[in-house]
């Protein structure tokens, strides 16, 4: 029997999917990338916001339709949606053969064997997350030259709009030794770029080492000879300090890229969001980052349309984005989620207003990026090639661009291969992307 896995949501979910596939492969099951070839489909779901939940349900229903037509034998649903709605889903989706939450990913083989005996199963231990180890098998779902590495799971921040602590539980760090061993194994397989991920990477180590220890971990990882780039994603502004920034600045292998989700800048909104920082903190932090790491790419994410975001408060955010000039930026409409304190707040913002505010911020950001990209024309950049498009063209990323979320550099030149790290002369600005030629 062949298994196909559909993974939805963030890169943290993708790592969970890779682990499940590794465990299934080790148990002797055959894995296929083609849905048409599969006998069993696993849908690994996200449930962070309304759009993610709707996407997950749509995909599950599409897969169940294939089962109804006799093209699939079994369907399993895993991930955050399953954990969040563990009491409701088995009754609502009775055609699904098995459910498993993120805390029980190590039981995926037992679950599958059970349902193949026609026994419908749900596994929920109550544990919110499963921390894999360096020797846990994984089947990569990314190109060979880059990988994501989960350094922790869960979250202690308890932002008022977020359900992640309910789904994933309290913050739990992986031991440093296991992370370094995994990085060495990946590097030995040809991985050149490692992206460190968790709900809050800057909080790493507080539970097992009694101090924020991302700086120590990064120093250890830089000792792996085959690695070219080490990128840190998801850093809460509350937990970034000078020692971490100085390590990032000093070590050539660490990408000069800070992923800093500020969510908002107005003090009232930040307080309602329970972000534990204010405008003054954020501005000082950004000044410190740019002072310590010259040429750094700052990426942020924002939420607009939060309850009580008056026109004046939105304008304050708009002006802050204009003045700060983030190199990378994403913006989301606020989604009220049940069982969060923010969902109880009054003075909600109409959807049409949220949509207009998203558009306003993104139009502003487009101008900022175009200005910064125009300044890069005529300069050289090191580019990691993600994909070869034809014999004369490829596309890749600079150290200032994370996989899947940031811009690309389209490169002309012969003999370019996926995974190559090459020097490129930037020749043209393509809005969020760039164009250049191989040197």
pLDDT at 30: 94
- pLDDT-derived band at 329 (thresholds 50, 70, 90) equals very high
pLDDT at 140: 94
Task: Write the CB contacts of 100 (distance below 8 Å, at least 6 apart in sequence).
Answer: 76, 77, 78, 82, 107, 108, 111, 122, 123, 124
What is the third-level CATH fold of 2-123?
Rossmann fold (3.40.50)
Q: Which two tokens stand for residue 434?
A: 């760039």
Most confident by average pLDDT, 6-10, 94-98, 305-309: 305-309
* Average pLDDT rounded to a whole number, residues 79-87: 89
Q: Are 32 and 56 in contact (CB under 8 A)?
A: no
Residues above pLDDT 70, as percent of the chain: 98
pLDDT in tens, 278-303: 999 999 999 999 999 999 999 999 99
CA distances from 16 to 134, 188, 347 (A): 13, 21, 38
pLDDT at 86: 86
pLDDT at 178: 97
CATH superfamily of the domain spanning 146-374:
tm_1862 like domain (3.80.30.20)
pLDDT at 161: 95
pLDDT at 119: 72
- pLDDT-derived band at 321 (thresholds 50, 70, 90) equals very high
pLDDT at 191: 97
pLDDT in tens, 64-78: 999 999 899 999 999
Give domain limits for the chain: 2-123, 146-374, 380-438
**Cα 362 from Cα 365, distance rounded (Å):** 5
pLDDT in tens, 367-392: 999 999 999 999 999 999 999 999 99
Q: Are 261 and 221 in contact (CB under 8 A)?
A: no
2-123 matches 380-438 in fold = no
pLDDT at 124: 60
In total, the chain counts a number of residues equal to 439
pLDDT at 51: 87
> Does 49 or 197 have the greater pLDDT score?
197
pLDDT in tens, 126-149: 666 689 999 999 999 999 999 999
> Does 121 or 230 have the greater pLDDT score?
230
Task: Write the CB contacts of 174 (distance below 8 Å, at least 6 apart in sequence).
Answer: 131, 133, 150, 151, 152
Q: Are 146 and 195 in contact (CB under 8 A)?
A: yes
Q: Are 89 and 82 in contact (CB under 8 A)?
A: yes
pLDDT at 416: 95
pLDDT at 126: 60
pLDDT at 117: 87
Residue 123 has pLDDT above 80, yes or no: no
Q: For residue 266, how far is the Cα from the chain centroid?
A: 25
Q: Which residues share a beta bridge with 2?
A: 30
- pLDDT-derived band at 360 (thresholds 50, 70, 90) equals very high
pTM of the model: 0.94
- pLDDT-derived band at 125 (thresholds 50, 70, 90) equals low
Task: Write the CB contacts of 200 (distance below 8 Å, at least 6 apart in sequence).
Answer: 152, 155, 156, 157, 171, 234, 235, 236, 239
Q: What is the mean pLDDT of the chain?
A: 94
3-state SS track over the chain: CEEEEEECCCHHHHHHHHHHHHHHHHCCCEECCCHHHCCEEEEEECCCCHHHHHHHHHHHHHHHHHHHCCCCCEEEEEEHHHHHCCCCHHHHCCCCCEEECHHHHHHHHHHHHHHCCCCCEEECCCCCCCCCCCCCCCCCCCCCCEEEEECEECCCCCCCCCCHHHHHCCCEECCHHHHHHHHHHHHHCCCCEEEEECCCHHHCCCCCCCCCCHHHHHHHHCCCCCCCEEEECCCCHHHCCHHHHHHHHHCCCECCEEECCCECCCHHHHHHCCCCCCHHHHHHHHHHHHHHCCCCEEEEEEEECCCCCCHHHHHHHHHHHHHHCCCEEEEEECCCCCCCHHHHCCCCCCHHHHHHHHHHHHHHHHHHHHHHHHCCCCCEEEEEEEEEEECCEEEEECCCCCCCCCCCEEEECCCCCCCCEEEEEEEEEECCEEEEEEC
pLDDT in tens, 337-354: 999 999 999 999 999 999
Which CATH number is 380-438's, of 2.40.50.140, 2.60.40.10, 2.40.30.60, 3.40.50.620?
Answer: 2.40.50.140
């Amino acid at each position: 029997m062949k298994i196909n896995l559909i993974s939805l949501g963030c890169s943290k979910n993708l790592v969970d999917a890779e682990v499940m596939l590794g465990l299934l492969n080790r148990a002797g099951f055959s894995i296929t990338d083609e849905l048409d070839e599969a006998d069993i489909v696993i849908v690994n779901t996200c449930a962070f916001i309304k759009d993610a939940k709707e996407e997950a349900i749509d995909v599950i229903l599409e897969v169940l339709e294939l089962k109804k037509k006799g093209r699939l034998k079994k369907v399993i649903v895993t991930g955050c949606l399953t954990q969040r709605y563990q009491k409701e889903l088995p009754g609502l989706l009775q055609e699904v053969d098995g459910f498993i939450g993120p805390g029980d990913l190590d039981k995926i083989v037992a679950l599958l064997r059970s349902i193949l005996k026609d026994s419908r199963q749900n596994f929920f231990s109550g544990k919110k997350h499963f921390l894999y180890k360096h020797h846990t098998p994984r089947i990569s779902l990314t190109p060979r030259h880059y990988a994501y590495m989960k350094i922790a799971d869960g979250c202690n921040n308890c932002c008022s709009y977020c359900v992640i602590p309910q789904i994933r539980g309290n913050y739990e760090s992986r031991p440093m030794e296991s992370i370094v061993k995994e990085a060495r194994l990946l590097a030995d397989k040809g991985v050149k770029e490692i992206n460190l991920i968790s709900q809050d990477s800057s909080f790493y180590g507080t539970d097992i080492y009694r101090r924020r220890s991302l700086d120590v971990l990064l120093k250890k990882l830089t000792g792996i000879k085959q690695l070219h780039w080490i990128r840190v994603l998801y850093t809460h502004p509350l937990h970034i300090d000078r020692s971490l920034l100085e390590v990032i600045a000093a070590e050539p292998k660490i990408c000069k890229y800070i992923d800093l989700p500020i969510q908002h800048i107005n003090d009232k909104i930040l307080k309602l969001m329970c972000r534990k920082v204010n405008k003054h903190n954020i501005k000082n932090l950004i000044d410190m980052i740019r002072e310590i790491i010259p040429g750094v790419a700052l990426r942020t994410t924002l939420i607009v349309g939060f309850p009580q975001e008056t026109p004046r408060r939105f304008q304050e955010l708009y002006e802050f984005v204009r003045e700060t000039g983030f190199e990378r930026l994403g913006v989301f409409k606020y989604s009220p989620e049940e069982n969060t304190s923010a969902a109880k707040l009054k003075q909600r913002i109409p959807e049409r207003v949220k949509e207009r505010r998203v558009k306003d911020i993104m139009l502003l950001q487009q101008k900022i990026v175009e200005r910064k990209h125009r300044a890069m024309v005529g300069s050289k950049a090191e580019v990691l090639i993600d994909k070869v498009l034809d014999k004369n063209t490829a596309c890749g990323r600079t150290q200032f661009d994370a996989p899947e979320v940031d811009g690309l550099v389209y490169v002309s030149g012969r003999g370019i291969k996926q995974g190559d790290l090459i020097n490129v002369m930037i020749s043209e600005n393509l809005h969020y992307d760039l164009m250049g030629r191989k040197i």
